[in-house]
Amino acid sequence: MPRTKTITLYEFDELSDKAKERARDWYRESEAHFFDAEDFEEHVLREHVEYHFRLKLPKCRWSLNHCQGDGVAFYGAIDLDFLMDDGDARPDQLTSRETLEEIRSLVRDLRGLGYSLRADSDGEGNGNHHWNSMRATLTAEEGPNLSRYGLRAAITDEMLLAMEPPMLATVSELLEGDDWAPLLIACDWLDEQGFDTALIRAIVAPGDGCSAAEAMVERLQELLDEYLTAASRSAGKAGYEELEYRDGPECIDENIRINDFTFTADGKRMN
């Protein structure tokens, strides 16, 4: 007649401290085997930068093993419309909040000047993915109203509102040629008449060898680069905190209880 052995199983809270630690080790090993990397990426890393930084990019690359070169990086086209939306962006540093507001201001101004903007995060081909593996690039294409012909037409329209029609010939002569100076002279005259020429001046007024609009484009790219870095660092920090929480006794104990796992007296799990 075969011998039978009775094994008594215990709920987690009935175990000794030493047995509980063994039960936790079993749970950690089990969770590591079934870890859902895609779920972690979507609901921890991506949601973090979307909620706190209003950043949405198509690709996320990460490694959070406390090794050199680890981190989180985002690549591809930056969704500027999502970034501009006044959602619940709450960057975890004051400097990042200030950067976001300046970015939004520059995007609004450049779009108001007729620029078509595209921003990307490059650097995916690097071996490691972290805050220093990304580089923001900005493409700013001028709309038709930014051509010299378009500017002349805009100034002519403004001056016609302030002059008698017989002066049109003089206006046309003033705006002929490729020199920007006559355009600025026309702007000075219009300002004296109470017209706002800030838009035109932002495009044509030289400053350190480039127009004010070109300087705005350069500044926007610089800020986007800084902002991506801040978002990457913040996402990495959030990722490590989530992994540490999942691996901690409080979270493990709660999940063991929720799943009604039982163990032998020494904390061994019986399948």
Which residue type occupies 101? E
Domain ranges of the chain: 36-142+223-247, 145-210
For 235-261, how does the pLDDT look when each residue is reduced to its tens digit (9 = 90+)? 999 999 999 999 899 999 999 999 899
Stretch 7-28: mean pLDDT: 89
Stated length of the chain: 271
Average pLDDT, the chain: 81
Q: Which of 129-133, 208-212, 234-238 has the highest mean pLDDT?
A: 234-238
For 178-191, how does the pLDDT look when each residue is reduced to its tens digit (9 = 90+)? 566 666 777 777 78
For 97-101, which contacts have Cβ atoms below 8 Å and span 24 or more sequence positions? 99/223, 99/226, 99/227, 99/230, 100/53, 100/54, 100/227
Q: What pLDDT is attached to residue 46?
A: 95
Q: Which of 115-124, 147-156, 192-201, 210-219 has the highest mean pLDDT?
A: 115-124
Q: What pLDDT is attached to residue 161?
A: 62
Pick from 58-62, 162-166, 247-251: least confident: 162-166
